[in-house]
Amino acid sequence: MSSHLSEEQYQSGVKAVWRATAILSVVTVVEVAVALILGPHLPKLIMNTFYVLASLAKAFFIVGEFMHLKYEKRAFMLSLGVPLVFLIWAIIAFATEGHYWNILNHPK
């Protein structure tokens, strides 16, 4: 009834996890290093784009490897991923609105 793994599957699973750990740690260290070294010199837009992309990369590793979603059925992945598409709308709509409040409240 339970899914007993062969020794080989187990070893490759353990390897995949430590690989994901190393990647997550390196991405975090790079993020912080970039923030401290390049942060004061580069435009905010470039820095923020970099942070968002690095965070999304981390999120994919956590969800895919740690939460094992990479190994589930495609239909299941889509049932979780597709609803999140609404967030793209929400982020754009509320960011635009927030920026508009800023213009209203602090006219140049």
Partner 1 sequence: MSEVLEIQDEHHVDLLPTPDNGEGGEKTAMNISYGKTMMWYFLLSDAFTFSAFLIAYAATRLAQAWWPNPNLVFKSFPGLGHTNAPLAFVSVMTFILILSSVAVVRAVQEGHRMNQKGVMLWMIGGIVGGAMFLGCQAWEWTHLIGEGLRPFYNPFGPDANGITHLVEEHMAVSPGPIAFGALFFGITGFHGFHVFTGVCINIWAFIATANGTFQRRGHYEMIEKVGLYWHFVDLVWVFVFLAFYLM
Kindly list the residues in this chain that would bind partner 1 in the complex (CB under 8 A).
1-5, 10, 13-14, 17-18, 21, 24-25, 28-29, 31-32, 35-36, 39, 48, 51-52, 55, 58-59, 62-63, 65-68, 72-73, 75-76, 79-80, 83-84, 87, 90-91, 94-95, 97-99, 101-102, 105-106
E strand segments, the chain:
none
Three-class SS state of 28: helix
Q: Which residue in this structure is represented by tokens 């999120």?
A: 59
| CB of residue 53 to partner 1, shortest distance in Å | 10
CA–CA dist 34, 26 (Å, integer): 12
Residue 43 or 84 having the CB closest to partner 1: 84
| CB of residue 48 to partner 1, shortest distance in Å | 5
| CB of residue 33 to partner 1, shortest distance in Å | 9
Residue 106's CB: how many other CB atoms inside 10 A?
Answer: 7
| CB of residue 55 to partner 1, shortest distance in Å | 4
> Angle, nearest 10°, between helix axes 44-61 and 7-37?
170
- Which tokens sit at 82? 């597709």
